[in-house]
Amino acid sequence: MKMSLTRILAEIKILAKSEHQGRIPDLMSNFVGMSIGLGNSQTPHVRTFKNKDQVEKEITSQFKSWEDQMARLTLLKRTLNHANSTTMVTIGSKTMTIAEAVEQKAIMVHKSKMIQKMKNILLQTQTQMDQYQAKWDQTVQASMSNVKVEKGESPDLMANATAAMRETLGSTMKPHLIDPLNLGSLIKRMEEEVNDFLLNVDFALSEINAKTEVEV
Per-residue pLDDT of the chain (216 residues; tens, 9 = 90+): 999 999 999 999 998 887 655 554 444 456 766 667 666 656 655 666 667 777 788 888 888 888 898 899 999 999 999 999 999 999 988 999 999 999 999 999 999 999 999 999 999 999 998 998 888 778 777 776 766 656 555 666 666 666 776 666 666 667 788 999 999 999 999 999 999 999 999 999 999 999 999 999
- What is the Cα–Cα distance from 12 to 8, expressed in whole angstroms? 6
Same domain, 6 and 51: yes
- The two most distant CA atoms of the chain are separated, in Å, by 131
Q: Is 147 helix (H, G, I), strand (E, B) or coil?
A: coil
In a domain, 166, yes or no: yes
Whole-number pLDDT of residue 38: 64
Whole-number pLDDT of residue 179: 95
Residues 6+ apart with CB under 8 A from 24: 31, 62, 63, 66
| Phi, psi torsion values for 159, nearest 5 degrees | -65, -40
Q: Give the domain extent around 7.
A: 2-86
Same domain, 32 and 107: no
Q: Is 178 helix (H, G, I), strand (E, B) or coil?
A: coil
Whole-number pLDDT of residue 56: 80
In a domain, 188, yes or no: yes
In a domain, 93, yes or no: no
Same domain, 204 and 183: yes
Domains: count for the chain: 2
- What is the Cα–Cα distance from 8 to 13, expressed in whole angstroms? 9
Same domain, 78 and 109: no
Same domain, 55 and 129: no
Q: What are 35's strand-pairing partners?
A: 44
| DSSP letter string, 13-58 | HHHHHHHHHT-S-TT---S---EESSGGG-EESSTTSSSHHHHHHH
In a domain, 183, yes or no: yes
- What is the Cα–Cα distance from 34 to 199, expressed in whole angstroms? 59
In a domain, 215, yes or no: no
Same domain, 115 and 192: yes
Same domain, 73 and 109: no
Whole-number pLDDT of residue 63: 85
- List, for residues 76-121, the tens digit of each pLDDT value: 999 999 999 999 999 988 999 999 999 999 999 999 999 999 999 9
Residues 6+ apart with CB under 8 A from 31: 24, 59, 63
Whole-number pLDDT of residue 20: 58
- What is the Cα–Cα distance from 80 to 97, expressed in whole angstroms? 12
